[in-house]
Amino acid sequence: YNPGGSVKDRIGAWMIRDAEERGLLRPGGTIIEPTAGNTGIGLALAAAGRYRVIFVVPEHFSMEKQALMRALGAEIVHTPRSGGMEGAIARARALAAEIPGAWVPQQFANPANPEAHYRTTGPEIWEQMQGRVDIFVAGVGSGGTFTGTARYLKEKNPRLKAVAVEPEGSILGGGPKGPHETEGIGVEFIPETLDVSLVDQVYTVMDADAFAMVRALARRCGLLAASSSGAAFWAALQEARAAPPGTRIAVIFPDAADRYLSKDIYGKFADGKEA
């Protein structure tokens, strides 16, 4: 269900289909989106051969994801790291105003983003866990994965605890905004696609802890998960330690480590110790 290798494949297809049905995106049009990479890959997959695609990417994000976007025919415009995702959003809007027939999916405000996970990810988890889900843990970037999945699971089990995970430097937990190395999650503002009423607890995970989990998942479990997955796993472990025996926890691992090798994903914060 994720041919591009991340949870964002679903929202790419869902947002494009929704825009086509509503007449916002027409044949020969141009898709412009600010993205850390995975949403771009998902959009480029769904747009291949049909639309011109331009992605605005803050300059510090992984080269592997950018290479995949280019392989799918996308053009990439870089913005300074100092401007963060807000700077990329502003640049995307400016480009859209200059290009006739342009459409900006706005993953941070598009209801089709969480809807994709409400219709697919949530039901898949519920079915695969045979209706026994007590705690749901997911990282928060746009909030689409967390919101759509948590909403569905809470409808099925009103007692379910939904845990949101962010890196240090993200503001959801009330801390100050700042830089972080954990890629793909973290909010500089509260997105419209994040329903904070669904959040039962927030874990703010230090980069060192997230990357320690990345190494542990590889060496002990044979799972090549990336830093956002490491952060989610760290939070899930805290929940598991406090929960009674038999508690069932579902954790989202958004993508794999192979698209972050150029950023030394297995060496960061290692300090020579086994994870």
* Residue whose entry in the numeric block shows the structure tokens 């805290």: 238
Name residue 225's beta-bridge partners. Answer: 256
* Residue whose entry in the numeric block shows the structure tokens 């964002």: 8
- Residue 3 phi/psi, 5° resolution? -65, -25
Classify residue 84 as left (phi > 0), alpha (psi -120 to 50) or beta. left
Query: What pairing do the DSSP bridges indicate for beta strands 30-34 and 102-103?
Result: parallel
Structure token pair of residue 228: 């956002």
228, 229, 263, 268: the active-site residue: 228
DSSP assignment of 71-126:
HTT-EEEEE-GGGHHHHHHHHHHHHHHHSTTEE---TTT-THHHHHIIIIIHHHHH
Cβ proximity of 236 and 267 under 8 Å: no
CB contact set of 238 (below 8 Å; sequence gap of 6+): 203
Cβ proximity of 96 and 32 under 8 Å: yes
**Residue 138 parent element (H or E):** strand 135-139
* Residue whose entry in the numeric block shows the structure tokens 């890959």: 41
Q: Is 263 a catalytic site residue?
A: no
- Which positions are annotated as active-site residues? 8, 228
